[in-house]
């Protein structure tokens, strides 16, 4: 990967390249303002923080993460593997998330998976490699690529706020599904991740609330589709 977004200057450069590719986004950017960088730590700790936050409120996720980082310093794969499940449960982790994080930590420690190597892979390949890990779904993979690696082309098609932002920005009759979001973004390659940042900012500007990335759910009934913050035993998002 020849270009990664590590700084505000990188993001500005990428945003300008996106606007040149699709001038329609200039009006959206004018309303939204410059998107925030939102860089996160990479490696096991970065991926673990995303897994921890799945289907939790910001406050709950922060509390659990605070207990984990106080327990493990540094919070790396080897250290995580040494902690027994009952202690991790007392910190607030669900059994499913413990299994996911233990599996990831084991793969990293054994060398069967290399998070650092994802930097050099195209977004779709890196996405596929991450989702092959136990408990890592499409949304988690794309959020890691976007904010922990700074990948400019990751496209979290299943993100609810992003779907709603696309509906509003392009005057669509209905909110596009995850499947419909894929062709919608083709015109923005290799800057789909930058378009996601712009649309999240647009959502925040139009809705008057933060568009923190939230994974879409696939529950049994349509009535529960709006319960995007509900608890889940399965962390594969």
Tell me the per-residue pLDDT of 112-128, one tens digit each, with 9 for 90 and over. 999 989 998 999 999 99
Q: Rounded to an integer, what distance in angstroms lies between the CA atom of residue 235 and that of residue 120?
A: 27
Q: Torsion over CA of 99, 104, 107 and 113, rounded to 10 degrees?
A: 150
Q: Rounded to an integer, what distance in angstroms lies between the CA atom of residue 85 and that of residue 61?
A: 18
Residues 34 and 48 in one domain: no
Residues 171 and 104 in one domain: no
What is the number of domains present in the chain? 2
pLDDT per 10-residue tile (average), the chain, 237 residues? 89 97 95 93 95 91 96 94 97 97 97 93 94 94 96 95 95 96 96 97 85 50 32 45
- Which of 97, 113, 148 marks a domain boundary? 148
**Helix extents (H) in the chain:** 8-21, 24-32, 43-53, 58-71, 77-82, 85-90, 95-110, 123-131, 138-143, 160-169, 178-184, 192-207
Residues 56 and 101 in one domain: yes
- Over the stretch 9-58, which tens digit does the pLDDT of each residue have? 999 999 999 999 999 999 999 999 999 999 999 999 999 999 999 888 88
Cβ–Cβ under 8 Å, residues 51 and 215 = no
Q: Rounded to an integer, what distance in angstroms lies between the CA atom of residue 137 and that of residue 96?
A: 13
């Amino acid at each position: 990967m020849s270009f990664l977004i590590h700084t505000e200057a990188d993001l500005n450069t990428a945003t300008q390249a996106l606007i040149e590719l699709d001038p329609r986004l200039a009006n959206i950017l004018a309303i939204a303002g410059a998107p925030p960088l939102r860089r996160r730590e990479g490696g096991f700790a970065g991926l673990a923080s995303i897994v921890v936050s799945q289907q939790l409120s910001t406050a709950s996720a922060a509390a659990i993460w605070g207990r984990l980082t106080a327990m493990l310093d540094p919070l790396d794969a080897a250290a995580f593997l040494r902690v027994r499940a009952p202690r991790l449960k007392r910190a607030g982790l669900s059994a499913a998330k413990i299994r996911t994080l233990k599996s990831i930590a084991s793969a990293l420690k054994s060398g069967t998976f290399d998070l650092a190597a994802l930097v050099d892979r195209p977004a779709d390949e890196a996405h596929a490699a991450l989702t092959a890990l136990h408990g890592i779904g499409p949304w988690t993979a794309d959020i890691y690529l976007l904010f922990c690696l700074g990948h400019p082309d990751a496209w979290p098609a299943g993100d609810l706020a992003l779907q709603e932002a696309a509906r509003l920005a392009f005057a669509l009759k209905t909110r596009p599904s995850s499947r419909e979001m894929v062709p919608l973004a083709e015109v923005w390659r290799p800057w789909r991740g930058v378009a996601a940042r712009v649309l999240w900012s647009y959502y925040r500007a139009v809705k008057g609330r933060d568009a923190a990335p939230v994974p879409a759910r696939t529950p049994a009934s349509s009535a529960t589709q709006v319960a995007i913050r509900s608890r889940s035993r399965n962390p594969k998002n």
